[in-house]
Amino acid sequence: MARSNSTTLAPNALAPSGQIQYAESTVATKRTAVKLTVCILSPHPVVLSEFERLLAKAQFKVGIKQLESTLAPDLRSLEIPKAQVYVIDAHAAKPATGALLANILERFPEARLIVVGEAHNDANSYSLLRLGVKGLLTYVEARDQLIRALPLVASGGFWVPRNLLSGFVDSILNGQGRRLKTDTVTNLSRREQEVLDSLLENLSNKEIANKLNIAERTVKFHVSNLLSKFGVRRRADLILLTFQRRLAQA
């Protein structure tokens, strides 16, 4: 991030009645980059102001929307501005947060969601991931990590603590009898589909090589291609993405 060449506009004040306002920050480059649009949703003006301050020097188009109600029925029908990534303050009760997430994804199925809260226990985190959330941060973590998490999540990746993600993937595989079916992805070769199916059986590279009667280095090659095609960096991310896609198609 070229901070030394950045030009930042002063953050806008909160709009009345929870209306959204955008505060733009630009970075001087030879080519004009398309800004990532981010919408921050919270019932608390202080939280909105802090997040806006954190992102003020980043190359994002940041919008803020103050939630006037934290009741699930109100959040379920709330008008949501369009953005690529939504940062949701999970201060509200679990049903209310779930209603807001469902509302966003129904209106904008391609949206990416990051939930920020005081803390994330396993049960609550697993529930959020099942709903389609791509990133989980505490308020403290957000101060240092939100700027890095946003572009990764926008590109299809996950920003979730490794141990939590691994635990969730294990819970998925255990719940599916160690096998998670996936519909064929149109741009995968037959061999890539076979390797993907094997990954979803939680097999190691060596086990996949033995199963498919190919060299282990060939397995590594196909795994690398799969991660690239799905836009993720880790096997756990790939399994989670496949699981979330299956839920979305259900």
Q: Is CATH 1.20.210.10 what the domain over 178-249 is classified as, yes or no?
A: no
- In this structure, the number of other CB atoms found within 10 A of the CB of residue 80 comes to 19
- β-bridge mates for residue 21, sequence order: 64
In angstroms, the CA 27 to CA 45 distance is 27
Question: How far from each other are the two terminal CA atoms of the chain, in whole angstroms?
Answer: 40
The string of pLDDT tens digits covering residues 155-195 is 888 898 878 877 887 776 666 544 444 544 557 888 988 99
Per-residue buried b or exposed e for 37-74, using 16+ beta carbons within 10 Å of the residue's own CB? bbbbbbbeeebbbbbbebbbebbbbbbbbbbeebebee
Is the predicted pLDDT of residue 12 greater than 60, yes or no? Answer: no
**pLDDT for res 75:** 92
Average pLDDT (7-11) is: 29
Residue 40 has a pLDDT of 96
Boundaries of every domain in the chain: 3-160, 178-249
Helices (H) and strands (E) in the chain, counts: 10, 7
Say if CB 164 and CB 122 are below 8 A apart: yes
Lowest-pLDDT range of 43-47, 175-179, 243-247: 175-179
| 86 SS3 class | strand
What is the band of 33 on the pLDDT scale with cuts at 50, 70, 90?
low
**CATH value of 3-160 in 3.40.50.410, 3.30.465.10, 3.40.50.2300, 3.40.50.720:** 3.40.50.2300
CB 80 within 8 A of CB 108: yes
Are 78 and 103 spatial neighbours (Cβ–Cβ below 8 Å)?
yes
Band of pLDDT at residue 120, cut at 50, 70 and 90 = confident
| Main-chain phi, psi angles of 192, to 5 degrees | -65, -40
Q: Residue 83's pLDDT is what? A: 96
pLDDT range class, residue 82, cuts 50, 70, 90: very high
| Average pLDDT over the chain, rounded to an integer | 79
Strand 135-138 to 112-117 pairing: parallel
Report angle CA 112, 90, 20 to the nearest 5 degrees.
Answer: 65
Q: pLDDT > 90: what percent of the chain? A: 40
3-state class (DSSP) for residue 43: coil
Please state whether beta strands 60-66 and 21-27 pair in parallel, antiparallel, or not at all (unpaired). Answer: antiparallel
Model pLDDT, residue 80: 93
Question: What does the pLDDT average to over 128-145?
Answer: 91
Asked whether the CA dihedral 214, 220, 225, 229 is positive or negative, the reply is: positive
Per residue in 189-238, pLDDT tens?
889 889 988 887 778 889 999 999 999 999 999 998 888 888 777 777 78
Beta strands in the chain (DSSP E): 6-8, 21-27, 36-42, 60-66, 85-89, 112-117, 135-138
Task: State the pTM of this model.
Answer: 0.66
Assign 156 to helix, strand or coil. Answer: coil
Same topology, domains 3-160 and 178-249? Answer is no
